[in-house]
Structure 1
Amino acid sequence: MAVLGREQLPLVSVIIASYNHGAYVEQSILSVLQQTYPNVELLVVDDGSTDHSVGRIQQLQQAHGFDFRTQSNQGLSRTLNEAISRARGSLIVPFGSDDIMLPERLALQVDYMRDKPQVGICAGNIEEINELGVLLAPARPLPARRLTFDDIFMHRQPGAPAPTLMFRREALERVGGFDPAIRLEDLLIQLKITRIGFCIDVLEKVLAQYRVHPTNTYKNYRFMLENVLRTYAHFSDHPAYPHVCRRFRHSMFLKAAGTDKALAWQLLHEMPLHEWDGKTWRGLLRLLLRR
C-alpha cells in the first residue's frame, strides 16, 4: 500500500473556542499539537474570557505558531461559524477547550472517512476525566455504530459524543453551519446533517477524554431543557415529535427532582397524569423524599 505524503493527506482544521477554561485550555491545545496525524491546521479563538485563558494561550501560540484570535463574547455557534469561514481544511473538528484528544484520534478518523462520502460526521467513544485530568472510570464499551436521523431524534442508539466529532466540510456547508439561535450546538447540527441524507459513523475506539467539572453544560438542567426542546421544534413535522418531547421532559424531571426542585415541580405541573411513566413516578418519589 502506498503511503501518502503530507501534501496528499486531507487538511484537518481543528477549532478550539475557549471561554474561561484557563485551567484546562493548555492541555486541550497540546493534545491537538501532539496528534500523530501530520496535516493539521489549528485555530484557537478566545470568546471573551475573563480569567487567565488569554495569557496561557498566547504563551503556547508564541511557541507553536497556530492561529490565535481574541474577541468579545459572541457565543459558541457564531465563533465556530467565523472560524470555519477562515479554515482551509476539508475536514472540520470543533473541540472543547476543556477536553483532551488521544494521540491517534485524527489519524483514525481521517483514514476511516476516506472513500466514504456518505459519512457526514465521524465520531468515536470517550472516557471521562475529572478536573485534575484523572480518569474517573474505564470507558463504557460501546460498539461501532451508524446513526441516521431517526436513530438520533428517537434515541434508538447511543449518540455521537461531542468531543469526538469530525465534520465533512461539505455537510456543514449544505446545512448552513451552526445556528446561533440554539446554544446547544452539537445536537442540532447532527440532526440537520443526517436529515439531508448523510450518516454519522461512530468508531468503537475511545478518541477523546471528556472533562467533568462544575460548569459542564449538561449539569444546567434549565439550559438543557430549553435548548433541546427548541432543537426538537425544528423537526416538529416528524411523526414522533410529540413522543420525543414528552420523553425528554420526563427524563429531565427525573434528573431535576434531585437537584433543582423548582424546575422539577414546574415540569410535573406541565405533565398530564395520563402521560406519567416509570420515570415520572421515580422522580416524584425522589422529589418528595429528598430535602
Structure 2
Amino acid sequence: MNKVSVIMPCYNDGEYIEEAISSVFSQTYKNVELIIIDDGSDNEQTLDVLGRITGPNIKIVKTNRARPAGARNAGIAKATGKYILPLDADDKIEPDYIEKAVRVLENDESIGVVYCYAELFGERSGKWDLPDYSLDKMLLDNIVFVTALFHREDWEKVGGFNTRMQHGMEDYDFWLSIIEIGKGVYQIPEVLFHYRIKPSSRTTEFLTNSGIVKETYQNIYRQHPQLYEKYKDQYALVLRDALIDQLFINKTLQEGILILERIKRIPVLKSIVKKFIMK
C-alpha cells in the first residue's frame, strides 16, 4: 500500500483545522501522513491548537508567509508519500476519498490527477456547481480544485506550484503543467470533498478586480505555450463558444432591465417591484 501525504497549509485557521485533521485520519485508506505547514500564523487560537497537535503520522513545518503555493511546496518537500493530496486547513474530505482516488491512479498510469464532485459548507451550502471535467473546459478556466490526488514525481517534474502567482490560481497553473507533460485528469462522480465558504477569502477578493483577473489569466496562458499551441484550434473554438454564451447572457440581462424599467412606470406595479427588490 503506497503512502499518501496530505499537505495542509495553515494561516490562522485554528478555528477549523481540527475538523480538517479529523477528516484525514478518518480515511479508510490507512497509509497516510499529514504535513501541516504553519505559514506564519499569529492568531492565539491557531498557535494554541497547533501547539497541541501531535501524532506519529503528523509533521509540522514552519514557513513565514510563503502563501499557499510556497507553503504547499515546503510541505511536499518534506513528504515521504508516493502520492500527494493538498487539503486546506478549513476544508474536509469524505472517509473514502483517498482510497478511491488512489485506486484510479494505480489502475491507469496515464492519469496524473484525480478529483471528485464537491459540496459547499459554511456561509453557503449545496453542491459546488463546477462542470464535469473536459480538456476543452480546462483550457478555458480552472474546473479542478486544489484538493486532488497526484504523483509526487510529477510535482518534481513540473517544478512544483508556481510561487510567482501573487493573486492565486496557482492550482490551475499546476494542473495545466501536469496536463502539459502528457498526464490525464479523472473526476470521480461522487461528492467526496467539502469546500468551506467564508465571509472573505483570497478567492472572493480576487474576483472583485477585473484587471487582476485579466493579468492572471494572461500570465497562465504565457506560462504554457506548448500546451496552448498543441490545442490552439480547440482553444479558439472554446473561446468563441464562451464569447457567444456571454453575448446571449448580456442580451437576456438587458432585456430584463428594460422590462423592469417599463413596469416601474406603472404606478400600481411600482410599489410591488419596490417591495420585492427590498426583500
TM-score after normalising by structure 2:
0.76
1:191-270 superposed matches below 5 A? 191-220=176-205, 221=207, 222=209, 224-236=213-225, 238=229, 239=232
Whether the aligned pair in 2 keeps the contact of 1:123 and 1:202 (CA below 8 Å) is yes
**Whole-Å Cα distance in 1 between the matches of residues 252 and 87 of structure 2?**
36
Aligned pairs, how many?
Answer: 248
Could you tell me which residue of structure 2 aligns to residue 128 of structure 1? 120
- Cα pair distance change 1:175/1:23, threshold 3 Å: same
Q: 1:103 aligns with which of 95, 109, 118?
A: 95
Whether the aligned pair in 2 keeps the contact of 1:92 and 1:169 (CA below 8 Å) is yes
Whether the aligned pair in 2 keeps the contact of 1:218 and 1:224 (CA below 8 Å) is no
**Whole-Å Cα distance in 1 between the matches of residues 55 and 107 of structure 2?**
36
Could you tell me which residue of structure 2 aligns to residue 162 of structure 1? 146
**Whole-Å Cα distance in 1 between the matches of residues 256 and 163 of structure 2?**
36
Larger-gyration structure (1/2)? 2
Q: Residue type of the partner of 1:154? A: L
Whether the aligned pair in 2 keeps the contact of 1:13 and 1:42 (CA below 8 Å) is yes
List gaps (5 residues or longer) in structure 2: 262-276
Whether the aligned pair in 1 keeps the contact of 2:144 and 2:172 (CA below 8 Å) is no
Whether the aligned pair in 2 keeps the contact of 1:91 and 1:168 (CA below 8 Å) is yes
List gaps (5 residues or longer) in structure 1: 1-8, 252-275
Q: 2:74 aligns with which of 82, 86, 101?
A: 82
Q: Aligned to 2:54, what secondary structure does the other structure show?
A: helix
**Whole-Å Cα distance in 2 between the matches of residues 58 and 286 of structure 1?**
55
- Cα pair distance change 1:181/1:280, threshold 3 Å: farther
TM-score after normalising by structure 1:
0.73
- Cα pair distance change 1:218/1:247, threshold 3 Å: farther
Deviations 1:125-151 (A, max 9, x none): 1011115xxx822566976x5x44x44
Q: Residue type of the partner of 2:222? A: A
**Whole-Å Cα distance in 2 between the matches of residues 138 and 187 of structure 1?**
21
Match status 1:152 vs 2:138: yes
Aligned identity (percent) is 25
- Cα pair distance change 1:107/1:230, threshold 3 Å: same
Tell me the C-alpha RMSD between the 2 structures: 3.3
Whether the aligned pair in 1 keeps the contact of 2:105 and 2:114 (CA below 8 Å) is yes
